[in-house]
Amino acid sequence: MRILIVEDEPRIAADVKRGLEHAGYVADVVGDGEAAWFQAEVETYDAMVLDLGLPRLDGLSVLRRLRAAEIVLPVLILTARDGWRERVEGIDAGADDYLQKPFRMEELLARLRAILRRSAGHASPVLRAGAVELDTRTRAVSVAGRPMNLTALEYRLLAFLLHRQGQVVAPGDLLDHLYDTGSDREANALEALLTRLRRKLGAPVIETRRGHGYLVPKDGLDVGDADA
């Protein structure tokens, strides 16, 4: 899962980026509202962590632009302001949640997990497909109750597909969500990653739709359409 952090305080931005990456996310950072608007237009993200007090373009204006452009992106607002009016303005402008500074990283991560679940239509923090279970709180993955040891990249790939269970995801979209802005994104590397993940899981969870992309079905694997 790929997150855009919009924060003009370098220390806070670095702390949030480090916390997100430690929790298994890919994170890009920008320091002003204009850069945030540009980045959200040209890149693909699963969520945005947005400070309100930004230079060049304030956070509420960024949020209003996103919603006016119908960019569907869960947004968690960060702010040092403690007035209720700012919270109401943020929610009315289209924010999904609100966190006041100073905050603990554990709470930010919990709120981020919640808005990601809601945006994907999941009620539980544990994502399931057949015998596979992924706990988004602990990043624990198991198959039929047996714990699995996945690399960070394998975990991100599985988590992304499980969040979009029932949807066919194109290879280009997968690459966009697995890697940050500065990383090389190659289709061959994605195929190798999928092969390793399938081998570790040992269960027919990830289906290939030839010419379209990859799918974790909601009701089990349709073997007739799959290419494992």
What pLDDT, on the 0 to 100 scale, is given for residue 184? 66
Check whether residue 196 and residue 213 sit in a common domain.
Answer: yes
Which residue is associated with the tokens 């960060």? Answer: 78
Check whether residue 137 and residue 98 sit in a common domain.
Answer: no
Query: What value, to the nearest 5°, has the Cα angle with vertex 119 and ends 112 and 54?
Result: 50
Q: What is the pLDDT of residues 65-96, one digit of tens each?
A: 999 999 989 999 998 877 677 778 888 999 99
Predicted confidence band of residue 219 (pLDDT cuts 50, 70, 90): low
Asked if the model's pLDDT at residue 155 lies above 70, the reply is yes
Q: In whole angstroms, how far apart are CA 46 and each of 7, 80, 112, 146? A: 17, 24, 10, 29
Report the domain count for the chain.
2
Range name among 51-65, 163-177, 183-197, 212-226 with the lowest pLDDT average: 212-226
Check whether residue 52 and residue 74 sit in a common domain.
Answer: yes
Where a domain ends, among 85, 120, 155?
120
Asked if the model's pLDDT at residue 200 lies above 70, the reply is yes
Check whether residue 7 and residue 55 sit in a common domain.
Answer: yes
Containing structural domain, residue 162 = 126-225
Where a domain ends, among 120, 145, 173?
120
Check whether residue 116 and residue 130 sit in a common domain.
Answer: no
Predicted confidence band of residue 220 (pLDDT cuts 50, 70, 90): very low
Where a domain ends, among 97, 120, 143?
120
CATH of the domain at 205: 1.10.10.10
Q: What is the pLDDT of residues 2-46, one digit of tens each?
A: 999 999 999 999 999 999 999 999 999 999 999 999 999 999 899
pTM of the entire predicted model:
0.83
Which residue is associated with the tokens 């302001």? Answer: 81
Q: What is the pLDDT of residues 179-199, one digit of tens each?
A: 877 666 777 888 999 999 999
Check whether residue 108 and residue 181 sit in a common domain.
Answer: no
Total residue count of the chain as it appears in this document: 228
Average pLDDT, the chain: 89
Check whether residue 7 and residue 105 sit in a common domain.
Answer: yes
What pLDDT, on the 0 to 100 scale, is given for residue 225? 38
Check whether residue 103 and residue 38 sit in a common domain.
Answer: yes
Range 23-35 burial, b when 16+ CB lie within 10 A, else e: bbbbbbbbbbbeb
Check whether residue 91 and residue 148 sit in a common domain.
Answer: no
What pLDDT, on the 0 to 100 scale, is given for residue 179? 82
